């Protein structure tokens, strides 16, 4: 059982990374920050019951469910912001990341969550299935369809698409 003093450290250390994961799931930076805030609130409420080794998994599960739920709200569908937050650039060109984020925006909410968890968070099929409460077969089919869509939209062949390379700026 973790004590509440550690909560501040975990929140400070992990919130930026969780915002990036949440952004990949929902495509809207403001909504991603809201999702992380709700996630932190739920973590704080259950902090005394959580296993310290399960905090990251619990946070990913909450973020994925909140992102999928948010996509079902009609007022959110009309105004998606695609401008990413300001972060240091990586080795790839900035327009590459914008292309990938735009392509991710065409995916459905579940496919986005599967892609973000599988390839950005580097979860296994079983861990992704448990996080999203879907079967392993659904994870496999959703990720295969999502990657096929991304390959088509990005005009890449299957050997050059590595989903973890260019997701964030």
More confident residue, 45 or 77: 45
pLDDT for residue 156:
54
Residues 94 and 162 in one domain: yes
pTM for the full predicted model:
0.60
Per-residue pLDDT band at 33 (split at 50, 70, 90): very high
CATH of the domain at 131: 1.10.10.10
Summarize pLDDT for 143-165 with one digit per residue, the tens. 999 988 888 888 754 444 455 45
Residues 76 and 129 in one domain: no
Answer yes or no: is 85 within a domain: no
- Report how far residue 27's alpha carbon sits from residue 23's, in angstroms, rounded to the nearest whole number: 5
pLDDT for residue 1:
42
Does pLDDT of 2 surpass 90? no
SS (H, E, C) 101-154: HHHHHCCCHHHHHHHHHHHHCCCCHHHHHHHHCCCHHHHHHHHHHHHHHHHHHH
Q: How many domains does the chain have?
A: 2
- Report how far residue 125's alpha carbon sits from residue 144's, in angstroms, rounded to the nearest whole number: 12
Residues 52 and 109 in one domain: no
């Amino acid at each position: 059982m973790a004590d509440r003093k550690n909560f501040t450290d975990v929140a400070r250390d992990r919130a930026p990374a969780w915002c990036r994961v949440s952004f990949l799931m929902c495509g809207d930076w403001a909504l991603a920050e809201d999702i992380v805030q709700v996630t932190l609130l739920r973590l704080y409420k259950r902090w005394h019951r959580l296993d310290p080794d399960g905090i990251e998994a619990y946070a990913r599960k909450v973020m994925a469910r909140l992102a999928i739920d948010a996509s079902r709200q009609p007022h959110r569908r009309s105004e998606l912001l695609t401008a990413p937050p300001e972060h240091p650039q990586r080795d790839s060109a900035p327009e590459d990341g914008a292309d990938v984020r735009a392509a991710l925006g065409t995916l459905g909410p579940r496919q986005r969550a599967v892609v973000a968890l599988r390839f950005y968070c580097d979860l296994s099929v079983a861990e992704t299935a448990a996080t999203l409460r879907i079967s392993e077969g659904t994870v496999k089919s959703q990720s295969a369809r999502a990657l096929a869509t991304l390959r088509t939209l990005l005009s890449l062949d299957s050997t050059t698409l590595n989903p973890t390379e260019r997701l964030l700026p």
